[in-house]
Structure 1
Amino acid sequence: MTPDLDALADQIIRAAEGASRYLVALAGPPGAGKSVRGQWLCDAINERLPGRAGLVPMDGYHFDNAVLGEQQIPVKGAPHTFDVQGLRCDLERIRQADQPVAVPVFDRPLDLARAGGRLISLEQHIVIVEGNYLLLDRSPWRELRPLFDWTLFLEVDDAVLVDRLVRRWLDMGQDHAGAIERTHHKDMLNAQLVKRCCLPPDQCWR
């Protein structure tokens, strides 16, 4: 059965009761709607428990273009183009729940991460972490799994992903040929990897 937003929010709140920190991984392929649904879920929890939920986007841990170098920039967004250890360290700090933790956020139009772009406060005892590779069954990504109390995976048909991704590239100024090229030869390759090599989630969300 596919859960709805309200049911998920209530389920997480019940599971997190009594925990000083409760981390939820929201994983899925590019174009699945992780950022939007993660914010929806965070907002739904905060409607019930004001100020108690926060959101950490995995995209903030992109390596900068200057670090990747010109040869790697075309595949930016692949698993090896993220600072996984930096993400892991921040998640460990968040789990400790003894001080606020600043996390980076990715500015898509500028194609760069902004350090300290968001603060996870002590009051936010439920933290939603969203990103493509949070459940990827490859090292070093699989080592993140013990840090999460509960995991969700967004299931989206490939045709829907393609449509969303092409529109995303067009909205970012790509011409139609460029949008098609980036969608099929970059994003959808990552999407298939995510779908094929995913650790079993606790629940799927369509």
Structure 2
Amino acid sequence: MRTMTVSQSLTAAHELAKHGERHLLGLTGEPGVGKSTLAALLAADLGAAAVAVSMDGFHLAQKELERLGRASRKGAPDTFDSWGFLSLMQRLTTNDAPAVYAPEYHRELHNPVAGAIRVDKHVPLVIAEGNYLLLPGRPWAWPTTCSTRSGSCRPTRTCATSASSTATWPSARPPSTPNGGRWVPTSATPAPCAPRSAGPMR
């Protein structure tokens, strides 16, 4: 596991963003470890060069959770539109549209709000955070850092173990890579921080 301070994380994020090509950086870990805090810090420091999006925007609507009988387990893996989240990651990676809109979870509404976060085509770094980015199997097992201009797909997953430390995690090869990309695994040792199921979220 490679541990990074906040300062080192900022340096790494700036390195990903500086060439202008689209990269996705994933932050994951258990609830309360500081994923959202770190994502917001990185995005604020990079300014117009980065936008943060969250898996929380893909919570199923409260009404749908109640219909499915899952409202008491809100926050568990099967209470998210996981394939919708994957679709967003793919759109952000291919970066074909002038802008992509992502949803955002509003706790005061107990529901996500569609189209709340705009990611313009020219933004080089998208920071995606969520509890289950390292969950085994589809749709979660998908690269979170990609370079589409260079034709390579770098499957660097970043595991946020606290608000001030991260670790890279090489993921398994997916069925395909965007734009015919070349799979470039990292040399980092997998970090022992696979997420557990979250408790109920209100």
Distance 1:25 1:193 in 2: 14
- Equivalenced residue count is 155
The one-letter amino acid paired with 1:67 is E
Given that 1:42 and 1:55 are in contact with CA atoms closer than 8 Å, whether structure 2 keeps it comes out as yes
Larger radius of gyration: 1
- Counterpart for residue 15 of structure 2: 14
Say what the alpha-carbon RMSD is for the aligned residues: 2.1
Given that 1:29 and 1:195 are in contact with CA atoms closer than 8 Å, whether structure 2 keeps it comes out as yes
1:18-167 alignment runs, 5 A limit: 18=19, 20-46=21-47, 51-69=48-66, 71-98=69-96, 99-142=98-141, 145-149=142-146, 150-156=156-162
Distance 2:10 2:159 in 1: 15
Distance 1:195 1:114 in 2: 26
Distance 1:15 1:67 in 2: 38
Distance 2:16 2:3 in 1: 18
Write out per-residue CA displacement over residues 20-42 of structure 1, whole angstroms, 9 at most, x where no aligned residue. Answer: 21000000101112111110111
- Counterpart for residue 180 of structure 2: none
Distance 2:3 2:194 in 1: 23
**Structure 1 residue 16: Cα displacement:** 4.3
Given that 1:6 and 1:44 are in contact with CA atoms closer than 8 Å, whether structure 2 keeps it comes out as no
Given that 1:20 and 1:97 are in contact with CA atoms closer than 8 Å, whether structure 2 keeps it comes out as no
- What fraction of aligned residue pairs are identical, expressed as a percent? 30
Distance 2:86 2:194 in 1: 21
Given that 2:145 and 2:157 are in contact with CA atoms closer than 8 Å, whether structure 1 keeps it comes out as yes
**Structure 1 residue 45: Cα displacement:** 2.3
Given that 1:92 and 1:147 are in contact with CA atoms closer than 8 Å, whether structure 2 keeps it comes out as no
Secondary structure, counterpart of 2:143 in structure 1? helix
- Counterpart for residue 203 of structure 1: none
More helix by share: 1
Secondary structure, counterpart of 1:26 in structure 2? strand
Q: Residues 117 and 129 of structure 1: is their aligned pair in 2 closer, same or farther, counting only changes over 3 Å?
A: same
Secondary structure, counterpart of 1:63 in structure 2? coil
More strand by share: 2
Q: Which runs of 5+ in 2 are unaligned?
A: 147-155, 163-192, 198-202
The one-letter amino acid paired with 2:15 is R
1:150-189 alignment runs, 5 A limit: 150-156=156-162
Given that 1:10 and 1:45 are in contact with CA atoms closer than 8 Å, whether structure 2 keeps it comes out as no
- Counterpart for residue 163 of structure 1: none
TM-score (norm 2): 0.69
